[in-house]
Amino acid sequence: MKHDIILCDLDAFFASVEQFDRPELRGKTVIVGGSPDARGVVSTCSYEARKYGIRSAMPVKKALALCPEAVLLPVNMERYKKLSEKVLKIFERFTPDIEPISIDEAYLALKKGTGCETAVKIRSTVREELGLPISIGISINKLLAKIACELAKPDNLKTLWPEDVPNTMWPLPVKLIPGVGPVTEKKLNLYGIKTVGDLARFPADGLVNIFGKNGIVLKHYANGHDDRELELVHKVRSISEETTFPQDVFDRKFALATLFDLSAEVGYRLRCKSLRARTISLKLRFADFKTITRDITLNEPFDTESAIYNTVKDLFTRYGDNPPWRLVGVRVSGLENWQQLSILPPGDSGEKEKKLILIRDRLRKKYGFEILYSARKLMKKQ
């Protein structure tokens, strides 16, 4: 392995944020979750709360019965997301190779031999700048880093190198292996496999008989082997499409049809990446090579081609409506992550368009972008 891999996991993240924001809550039993009468569940609880047996996903009512003096706070997701982004920015100072797993967890790949010193620096930076506790597991692959992190919690760091596997990992319960949920655990127990070591020593063909191909993966994991790569996200800052015409274009309608197609492509690429944008730019090059870009930032983030095209058309009318044109381009920026269209609440005003977009995107993913007629092609057919 060329890298050290570390897993960084913020401790009791939501509760830690609340305790940082409200110093009077530090050292207290804090539960972040839903309302006790609305069948709410515990989202996160502070380590103080864990001493009472309170756990994530437990009904809040039950948690409060275990510890009546606990402080119950609603989930403030906007705040947690902001801090999560700040933590990610801290990670980015140390390496560009980051795989975020969730709002409070990420794998980082570091130069071989630098895992420990970097982990120490990351922990102190996150603590000093954001006041948050973070645990870090250090090793050479994802699996060992993950288990090391489990062992490090709370608020500490731990290494788990391949040579430590027999002494450190084998005595642990087998459910620590990723992929071993309650069902698999029960099945393994039936065959006398209770610890990671039992699994590591179990004959491979026996495991294949019980679990199929997954049996081999489980055995590899139990021996500390894992060749999964980090799934890196290199941040996209903008998405753009432009077209240089073979000949200067005098036809306003054709220029707009081209901008419509470019808007559709940009919108499609945005949605493929589950992103939404806030800023739209129009780029125009005139016959004399004069080039202009004009942009608008909207209040609401968007990902539909109509939102993009309507703005582009508006910019075109205001700034660029003097033919002939050599080049037209559309660019969106101010990107943010967004859920898939399909889980938008019903009754959303653009619901019909969104349904259509979903269908078109599916077709394009299957057959390629060109499967649908473009506005330009339709104009040429007339």
How far, in Å, CA of 55 to CA of 340, rounded? 30
Evaluate whether 286 touches 304 at the Cβ level (below 8 Å). Answer: no
Compute the least distance from the CB of residue 144 to Mg ion, in Å: 18
Residue 162 one-letter amino acid: P
Catalytic residue among 18, 48, 99, 105, which? 105
Beta-bridge partner residues of 327: 244, 285
Reading the block at residue 79, the tokens are 């705040």
Q: Give the number of C-alpha atoms closer than 13 A to the C-alpha of residue 178, restricted to the C-beta side.
A: 15
Among 9, 97, 99, 265, binds Mg ion (CB under 5 A): 9
Compute the least distance from the CB of residue 9 to Mg ion, in Å: 4
Cβ proximity to Mg ion, 9 vs 265, nearer residue:
9
Region 97-156 residues binding Mg ion, contact defined as CB under 5 A = 104
* Spatial strand order in the sheet of 105-111: 98-102, 105-111, 3-10, 134-139, 157-159
Residue 175 one-letter amino acid: K
Compute the least distance from the CB of residue 135 to Mg ion, in Å: 8
Cβ proximity to Mg ion, 136 vs 165, nearer residue:
136
User: Mind giving me the DSSP string for 65-114?
Assistant: HH-TTPEEE---HHHHHHHHHHHHHHHHHH-S-EEEEETTEEEEEEETT-
Cβ proximity to Mg ion, 77 vs 378, nearer residue:
77
Compute the least distance from the CB of residue 50 to Mg ion, in Å: 13
Q: Give the number of C-alpha atoms closer than 13 A to the C-alpha of residue 343, restricted to the C-beta side.
A: 4
Q: How many residues does the chain have?
A: 382
Task: Tell me how many residues contact Mg ion (CB under 5 A).
Answer: 3
Residue 229 appears among annotated catalytic residues: no
Residue nearest to Mg ion (CB): 104
b/e sequence 72-108, b meaning 16+ C-beta within 10 Å: bbeeeeeebeebbeebbebbeebbebbbbeebbbbbb
Compute the least distance from the CB of residue 75 to Mg ion, in Å: 15
Evaluate whether 1 touches 141 at the Cβ level (below 8 Å). Answer: yes
Q: Binding segment for Mg ion among 3-11, 115-123, 211-219, 266-274 (CB under 5 A)?
A: 3-11
Region 86-105 residues binding Mg ion, contact defined as CB under 5 A = 104
Q: Which residue in 164, 140, 141, 138 sits closest to 149, CA to CA?
A: 138
Compute the least distance from the CB of residue 12 to Mg ion, in Å: 7
**Active-site positions?**
105
Question: Which positions touch Mg ion (CB under 5 A)?
Answer: 9-10, 104
